[in-house]
């Protein structure tokens, strides 16, 4: 069993940056594909970015390409989401998710693919 804890959220202004972290305990993330999802009030959960356990394959949603970057440090069992040029429409609760797999290049944009989830961290971008 792995326990995921997100941190780094907060209230920022349009154009600011934030870095979210997702730290794991109970089990290493070194063989887990990881992803960030977000959910805004009244909306469904949306894929933001994903990364394979090797770190060699990443995917970013079109809405965040060029602004957000997912990366990981397996030695620290932590995955990050660097968010630059934040916009009010980025306001949401951000969740990290993990899926253990033997496929080193595996990344999925589907929330149903992931087995473990954190509790979420709120990101609010004011205009």
Residue-wise pLDDT tens digits, 64-104: 999 999 999 999 999 999 999 999 999 999 999 999 999 99
Signed CA dihedral, 12, 60, 57, 113: sign only: positive
Q: What is the pLDDT of residue 31?
A: 94
Strand pairing report for 78-83 and 121-126: unpaired
Q: Give me the pLDDT at residue 51, please.
A: 98
Cross-strand bridge partners of residue 16? none
Report the relative pairing of strands 3-7 and 18-25 from DSSP bridges: antiparallel
**Res. 30 pLDDT band, cuts 50 70 90:** very high
Q: What is the pLDDT of residue 86?
A: 98
Backbone angles phi, psi at 36, to 5 degrees: -115, 135
In the sheet that holds 18-25, the strands lie side by side as 3-7, 18-25, 78-83, 68-73
């Amino acid at each position: 069993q792995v326990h995921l804890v997100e941190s780094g959220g907060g209230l920022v202004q349009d154009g600011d940056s934030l870095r979210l972290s997702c730290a794991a305990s109970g089990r290493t993330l070194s063989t887990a594909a990881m992803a960030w999802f977000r959910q805004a009030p009244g909306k469904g959960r949306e894929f933001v970015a994903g990364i394979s356990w090797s770190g060699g394959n990443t995917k970013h949603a079109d809405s965040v390409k060029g602004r957000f970057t997912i990366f990981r440090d397996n030695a620290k069992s932590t995955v990050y989401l660097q968010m630059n040029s934040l916009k009010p429409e980025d306001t949401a609760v951000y969740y990290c998710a993990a899926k253990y797999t033997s496929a080193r290049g595996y990344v999925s944009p589907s929330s149903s693919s992931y087995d473990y989830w954190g509790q979420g961290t709120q990101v609010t971008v004011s205009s």
